[in-house]
Each structure stands twice: as structure tokens, then as C-alpha cells.
């Protein structure tokens, strides 16, 4: 079983190895196991994790159509409950949007610089670069011509 693309699986580990689905839900009834004697897979797919994820309320339309949903996943259920237990937009939504938008371009530039550095190191070491239609060596699963080959030509702005 693999995680749903719509539900983020986050695990919080306590110092003693106990695992929980969220740092706001560290309670025995949410305990998923202990990394010292349980496998990561059994913790990720524990029945309590499934129950926790199923309790996440459906997202309001504003969230469903948001271009940043893949980053926040609608936020923490704890911060989406308003008056009379009505589910709304994440309390920190606008703050998250500011942070994500501020960081996005900078993270893309940083990723490009790291990829360029790795390609140049591989070339300097005499390693052959992939052909244009072969998979890129960065692991993106894209063709080299659509991924890192462009980094050999362009400069980061």
C-alpha cells in the first residue's frame, strides 16, 4: 500500500523512539509504534495512522483549488477547526502562502546550482554524461535534455 497523493503522512518521533502522526497528537491513543522495534513501513501504515488520516476533514473549495495545496496539504486539522467545530481554511494559510512564494524561486535557483555543481564534478572526473534522450543523472526521471542538460548552457540568474 502506498500513501494517497492527497494525504501527507508525517511521523513525529519522540526521544525514546515512540512514533505519532503529528506533534499536536502525541497521546497514547495515536501512538503508531516505536522505531526501535517496529519497521518504518509498519509505523507508516499502522491502523491508527489510517484512522488519523481518515479523520482529516474534507477541504474547503478555497483549498482544493489552491496552487500550493501540494505543499501544505490543507494544513494541520488542529488549525482548521473553527467555531462550533466547523472546518475551515487553515489558520496560518496566508502566512504559509507568503513563505512558500518567497522561498520557491530561491529554492529552484539553489537546486539548479547544486545540480550544475554535480554535473561539473562528474564531467571533471571523466564520467560520461547521458545522451539527450536518456534519463538524467540527477534522479528526476526526466530526459537529460529536459532536465540538467539545460544547466550546462544557462547560468543562474
Q: How far is CA 49 from the centre of its chain?
A: 17
Count Cβ atoms below 10 Å from residue 95 Cβ, excluding itself. Answer: 10
Query: Which member of 6, 18, 23, 38 is catalytic?
Result: 23
Give the strand order in the sheet containing 33-34. Answer: 12-13, 18-20, 33-34
Distance CA 119, CA 123 (A): 6
Q: Quick check: is 23 catalytic?
A: yes
Measured in degrees and rounded to the nearest 5, phi and psi for residue 23 equal -75, -10
If phi over 0 gives left and psi between -120 and 50 gives alpha, with beta otherwise, what is residue 131?
A: beta
Q: How far is CA 36 from CA 18, 21, 120, in A?
A: 8, 17, 41
Which residues are tagged catalytic? 23
Amino acid at each position: 500500500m502506498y500513501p494517497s497523493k492527497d494525504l501527507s503522512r508525517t511521523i513525529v518521533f519522540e526521544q525514546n523512539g515512540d512514533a505519532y502522526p503529528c506533534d499536536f497528537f502525541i497521546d497514547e491513543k495515536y501512538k503508531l509504534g516505536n522505531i526501535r522495534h517496529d519497521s518504518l513501513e509498519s509505523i507508516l501504515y499502522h491502523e491508527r495512522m489510517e484512522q488519523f488520516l481518515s479523520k482529516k476533514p474534507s477541504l474547503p473549495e478555497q483549498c482544493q483549488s489552491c496552487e500550493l495545496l501540494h505543499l501544505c496539504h490543507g494544513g494541520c486539522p488542529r488549525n482548521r477547526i473553527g467555531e462550533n467545530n466547523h472546518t475551515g481554511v487553515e489558520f496560518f494559510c496566508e502566512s504559509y502562502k507568503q513563505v512558500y512564494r518567497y522561498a520557491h524561486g530561491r529554492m529552484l535557483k539553489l537546486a539548479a546550482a547544486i545540480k550544475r555543481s554535480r554535473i561539473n564534478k562528474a564531467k571533471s572526473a571523466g564520467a560520461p554524461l547521458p545522451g539527450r534522450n536518456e534519463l538524467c543523472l540527477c534522479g528526476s526521471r526526466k530526459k537529460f535534455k529536459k532536465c540538467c542538460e539545460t544547466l550546462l548552457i544557462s547560468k543562474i540568474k
